[in-house]
A and B are shown apart, each in its own frame.
Chain A
């Protein structure tokens, strides 16, 4: 069984640029959630994708967008980067069964915006 993987591990961008982060979900999982974790804080929910459709979103502006592919892998896109976007971005996969609370997290992508 392959766990959740994310790429890249680290990324440095400048303010105003755009970034794409990638996530491969755990085998058999059809739901992917993305979180932003600022230093010293808990993960904050960005959005969730289920069967290629966004089915829930947290308090993040539209410049945060995503995609889910038929193989259930996912991308997080952030446009017009701001300094406050510097954080660890985590993706988590789960199933649509009764164990939807059980999320498996990837190691994260550390984004630094200068």
Chain B
């Protein structure tokens, strides 16, 4: 079993839709939960991070962490064609030296 599971998609939605992206994990030591966006032929860029459980909002993006269920989510409101990219969840233990990534979900937002 992988430490982090993420549905690779692809996920195709119309412009303006609310997008929900999810990951599950098995390692209870993870305390830092990140979402990266990766455009084609580019390196990942950090979108949001959450420490421990709870919600965090930044503009059209909301990150949620449920440590009791070992489940994290990223919501994108009013999705735009420019949001079309691969979204990677990532996790790290406190004091740990490595970040574990999910496989990434490919998102297409159609105009």
**Interface on A for B, CB 8 Å cutoff?**
4, 33, 35, 40-45, 48, 55-56, 58, 90, 92, 101-108
Contact = CB atoms under 8 A, between A and B. Distances in A.
Interface size class of B (residues with CB under 8 A): 20 to 34
Contacts of B103: 40-42
A101 B92 contact: yes
A101 B44 contact: no
Contacts, number: 53
B34 A42 contact: no
List of 10 A-B pairs having minimum Cβ-Cβ separation, nearest first = A56-B97, A105-B43, A42-B101, A45-B98, A101-B32, A42-B103, A43-B101, A105-B44, A107-B43, A42-B104
A103 B99 contact: yes
Nearest to A43: B101
A42 B5 CA distance: 10
A52 B102 CA distance: 28
Nearest to B42: A107
Contact of A102 (B8, B46, B102): B46
Contacts of A44: 101
Given A45-B99, A101-B99, A105-B43, 8 more contacts: A41-B104, A42-B6, A42-B102, A42-B104, A48-B97, A92-B43, A101-B92, A107-B42
Contacts of A103: 46, 99
Contacts of A105: 36, 43-45
A92 B6 CA distance: 22
B88 interface: yes
